[in-house]
Structure 1
C-alpha cells in the first residue's frame, strides 16, 4: 500500500482535497489530529498548535537522530489490562522516566502504524489490536540524555492481558512493569511523562 493510498483511506478523499497543498502523509496526520476531541483546555491548546504546525510545514518527521527537526512526531502505545485498568510502562534509559512504549514516526509513516510497529519491536506484542484513532495528544519538551527537543505525541491504547508473554528490548529499557491505577496515582508524578496524570484522567472519563 502506498502512502497515497493510505492517505486516501485515513483522511478520506474530501480530506485530501482540503489538504491538497500538503504532503500526503502530513495530511493524514492533520486529519487524525483534527478528529481528536480535546479532553481539557491544555489538550485543546496543543491541538490548535499542532494543527497550525502541520499546516505550515511538511518537515514533521524525525530525519536525523537524535532530534532533527527539533519538533517531530512520536507515537505512544499504552498497554492497558481491560480487567482492572492496570497499565504497562517501561523504565526508559534515555529519558530516565517511566513511559509508555513508543517511538518516533518514521518519514511518511502513519502514526498508527508506528504504534503497531513499536509495541512489537519493544515488547514483542501483537499491535494489530491498537485502535486506529489516538485518545490523547501532547506537546512536550524532552528531558534526559536526548533532552531539549519537542515531541508531538499521539497516544494510543492497546487492550492487553497482563499474562501475555513479553519480549523486551533490553537496550532501551532498564525495566518493564504493570502498574495498578492506585499505584500510579500515589507515585511521584516526576517519575513519569509530565502529561501522564492527564492521560489517566482522559481514559477514565
Structure 2
C-alpha cells in the first residue's frame, strides 16, 4: 500500500482488512465496478474512513447495511427510514476501528432486537458495495458494504421506532416492482445480484 508510510500502526490493520473485504466483492455491473474502484482508492489513499461526527464529518464515511432474507418465504426485509424518507435495508455507521461485520452484529441487535446470523450464501462477507450521496440536510457520501443475513420473518417483531416508521417483507419480484423513487437507489441492483447468487447457490446444492 503506497500510503502505508504515513498511516499509524493502529490504523493499518482495519484499513488492510477493508481492502481485503472490498477486493473480494465480484462486481455485478459497471456501476459496482466503478464504486469498488472508488472505495479501494479512498481506503488505500489514507483518508479517514469512519464517521467522527454526525451527520457529515468526514464527508465520506463507511456504512454497514444488512439485508435480512427469510429463505423459506423468499422475502427480504425493508424498513421505512424516517430521515431518508425511503424504504431501505437496515444498517448503520461503522464505528472508528470497528470491523464492518461487528457493526452488523451491533446494529442488528439495536435495530431489530435479534442476533445477526450470516447467510450461508455469503457468510460474514459483503455481497455488494455502493457509493451513495445522501439526500436532505447536510448531504454526504456513504460507502456502504451490503451484508446478507438469514432470519425467519416471525422472529422479527419490532424495530427501532426512533429510526423507522414501519417494516415490510417483500419477495425479490415485489422489490423490483417498487418504484426506484421509494427505495434505496441501489436496491433494485442489489436484488438482481442477490437473485443471481441465490440461483447459483441452489444450483450448487441441488
**TM-score greater than 0.5 by the shorter chain:** yes
Pairs within 5 Å for 1:115-194 = 115-129=104-118, 131-144=123-136, 146-194=137-185
- Structure 1 172/109 Cα, relative in aligned 2: closer, same or farther at 3 Å? same
Query: Separation in 1 of the partners of 2:142 and 2:156?
Result: 30
Instruction: Assess if the C-alpha contact under 8 Å between 1:30 and 1:51 holds in 2.
Output: yes
Aligned residue for 2:201?
Answer: none
Alignment of 1:17-56 (within 5 A): 21=5, 22=7, 23=11, 24-56=13-45
Q: Describe the SS at the equivalent of 2:155.
A: coil
Match of 1:106, SS state, is coil
Is the 8 Å Cα contact of residues 19 and 27 (structure 1) preserved in structure 2?
Answer: no
TM-score of the two chains, using structure 2 as the length reference: 0.86
Q: CA deviation at 1:180?
A: 2.3
Structure-2 separation of matches of 1:120 and 1:19: 36
In structure 2, what is the Cα distance between the partners aligned to 1:187 and 1:147? 27
CA contact (8 A) 1:26 1:58 kept: no
Please give the alpha-carbon distance, in whole angstroms, between the structure 2 residues aligned to 1:39 and 1:188: 21
**Which residue number corresponds to residue 188 of structure 2?**
197
Structure 1 unpaired stretches of 5+: 1-16
Alignment of 1:64 with 2:53, yes or no, is yes
SS for the counterpart of 1:127 is: coil
| Cα shift at 1:128 | 4.0
Deviation, 1:181, is: 2.4
- CA displacement, residues 134-162 of structure 1 (integer Å, 9 cap, x when unaligned): 00000000013x45100000000001111
Following TM superposition, the consecutive aligned residue runs of length 4 or more in structure 1 with deviations greater than 4 angstroms are: 17-22
Q: Distance in 2 between matches of 1:196 and 1:165?
A: 21
- Provide TM-score, normalisation by structure 1: 0.86
Alpha-carbon RMSD: 1.8
Deviations 1:74-98 (A, max 9, x none): 0000001111321111100111100
* C-alpha separation in 2, matches of 1:48 and 1:159: 29
Give the Cα–Cα distance (whole angstroms) in 2 for the partners of residues 182 and 52 of structure 1. 35
- Shift of residue 58 of structure 1? 4.2
Q: Which residue of 1 is the match for residue 66 of structure 2?
A: 77
Q: Distance in 2 between matches of 1:18 and 1:77?
A: 31
